[in-house]
């Protein structure tokens, strides 16, 4: 069986997924090189490249046409049974998927069935023609969790093709999980846009300060909401900020230093931040919103609070950081989730199973 993976983004996810699928199938990874050398497991990337199964292409303007054609020629030579692709709202990626659909089935990974409010929503509106084309081409939709599956079915551009839930495997995986280097550090990581609930966290931290809590808040990432609220956070004691894109190794260090990860989102589909926290053996205190309850299990690998409720968030952070036994339980549970139900091996099983089913259907259709 031959599977081509059109990895137009999500480099760490893509390299991890390709590595796991390669244990069961012949894989060709076509990866956007813009972040490939900065934001993935270099050892696994290099192993794929040494095996002659990595094709690099760039989406930067100067090389866009050349890179797109190179990627298509590689797919055509490979003659895959299926093409796995990220939904990416982009003309060139849609063109590659259209050409791929002429010779193979396309399995489309839909990370966010409905765009998040704010920047994402505006961007998706501008690119909706390409989104519609990509969804029209898909033989199977792959989503992360039951909530995302339900959300996709509700979209006007859903084509009625099968929807399969697959786990979002652990990203930003360290070589080894280690105890935190800070006693009471709470990390909020990643894109800091409106839906991430940064203002809810700010209110919760102010409540904590009134209790005399020594919880340390660490913000690591970038976005318009952090730009807006940064002065307010900087005015608080025990709060530090790293406002920029965080490369992979530095991101892993941010998780290593934290005791717990907070996700106070006001809206959510699935969450790569939760997957990264679990990969690093860190429990998550999250809003019970969107797809987060599909993965954050209270008392096992995290804690859930009502969305837009700073008091409940403050109480949960106090509970988790003050109870060392609970914190250790959540950390162990987070690691177990990353290694078991959310593992890349589980992801690969689902992908290979879908390709085999499509192949059987194709053969049955040819015999009819």
pLDDT tens profile 36-53 = 887 899 999 999 999 999
Task: Determine the pLDDT at residue 3.
Answer: 98
Task: Determine the pLDDT at residue 61.
Answer: 54
CA distances from 80 to 17, 107, 223, 336, 362 (A): 17, 12, 38, 34, 14
pTM above 0.85, yes or no: yes
Residue closest to 84 by CA, chosen among 125, 163, 142, 151: 142
Q: How far apart are CA 285 and CA 283, in angstroms?
A: 7
Tokens of 199: 């203002």
Q: How far apart are CA 70 and CA 176, in angstroms?
A: 37
Mean pLDDT, the chain, integer: 92
Q: How far apart are CA 275 and CA 12, in angstroms?
A: 12
Encode pLDDT of 93-140 as tens digits: 899 999 999 999 999 999 999 988 887 788 778 888 888 999 999 999
Q: Long-range contacts for 59-66 (Cβ within 8 Å, ≥24 apart)? A: 59/8, 59/32, 59/34, 59/90, 59/92, 59/93, 60/34, 64/92
Task: Determine the pLDDT at residue 60.
Answer: 62
List the 216-222 sheet strands across, edge first. 239-243, 216-222, 185-191, 260-263, 283-287, 302-305
Give the helix, strand, coil percentages of the chain, each rounded to 5.
50, 20, 35
Task: Determine the pLDDT at residue 34.
Answer: 77
Q: Which domains, and CATH codes, for the chain?
A: 2-169+344-367 (3.40.50.2000), 185-339 (3.40.50.2000)
Encode pLDDT of 126-137 as tens digits: 888 888 999 999
- Residue pair 284/177 in contact (Cβ under 8 Å)? The answer is no
Helix ranges, the chain (H): 11-21, 42-50, 64-78, 91-101, 119-126, 128-137, 146-153, 198-211, 224-234, 248-257, 272-279, 310-322, 324-339, 344-367
Provide the CB-side half-sphere exposure for 281 (13 A, CA). 14
Q: How far apart are CA 284 and CA 286, in angstroms?
A: 6
Task: Determine the pLDDT at residue 179.
Answer: 87
- Residue pair 266/205 in contact (Cβ under 8 Å)? The answer is no
**Beta 302-305 vs 54-57: how paired, if at all?**
unpaired
Residues with pLDDT less than 70, the chain? 59-64, 364-368
Task: Determine the pLDDT at residue 308.
Answer: 97
Find the largest Cα–Cα distance for the chain: 74
Task: Determine the pLDDT at residue 360.
Answer: 84
């Amino acid at each position: 069986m031959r599977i081509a993976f059109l990895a137009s983004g999500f480099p760490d996810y893509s390299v991890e997924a390709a590595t796991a699928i390669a244990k069961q199938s012949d894989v060709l990874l076509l990866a956007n090189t813009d972040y490939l050398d900065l934001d993935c497991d270099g050892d696994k990337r290099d192993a794929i490249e040494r095996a002659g199964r990595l094709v690099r292409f760039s989406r930067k303007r100067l090389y866009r046409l050349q890179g797109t054609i190179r990627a298509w020629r590689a797919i055509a030579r490979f003659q895959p049974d299926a093409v796995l692709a990220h939904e990416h709202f982009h003309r060139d990626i849609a063109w590659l998927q259209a050409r791929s659909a002429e010779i193979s089935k396309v399995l489309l990974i839909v990370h966010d069935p409905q765009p998040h409010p704010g920047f994402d929503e505006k961007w998706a509106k501008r690119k909706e023609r390409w989104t519609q084309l990509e969804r029209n081409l898909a033989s199977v939709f792959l989503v992360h969790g039951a909530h995302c599956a339900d959300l996709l079915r509700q979209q006007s551009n859903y084509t009625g093709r099968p929807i399969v839930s697959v786990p979002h495997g652990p990203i930003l995986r360290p070589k080894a999980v280690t105890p935190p280097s800070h006693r009471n550090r709470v990390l909020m990581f990643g894109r800091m846009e409106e839906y991430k609930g940064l203002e809810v966290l700010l209110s919760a931290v102010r409540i904590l300060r009134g209790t005399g809590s020594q919880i340390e808040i660490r913000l690591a990432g970038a976005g318009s909401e952090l730009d807006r609220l940064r002065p307010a956070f900087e005015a608080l004691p025990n709060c530090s900020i790293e406002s920029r894109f965080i490369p992979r190794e530095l991101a892993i260090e941010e998780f290593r230093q934290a005791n717990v990860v907070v996700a106070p989102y006001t809206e959510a589909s699935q969450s790569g931040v939760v997957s990264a926290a679990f990969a690093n053996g860190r429990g998550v205190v999250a809003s019970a919103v969107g797809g987060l309850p599909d993965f954050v299990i209270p008392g096992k690998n995290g804690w859930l609070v009502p969305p837009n409720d700073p008091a409940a968030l403050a109480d949960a952070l106090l509970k988790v950081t003050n109870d060392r036994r609970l914190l250790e339980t959540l950390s162990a549970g987070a690691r177990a989730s990353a290694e078991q139900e959310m593992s890349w091996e589980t992801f690969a099983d689902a992908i290979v199973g879908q390709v085999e089913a499509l192949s059987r259907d194709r053969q049955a259709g040819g015999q009819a």
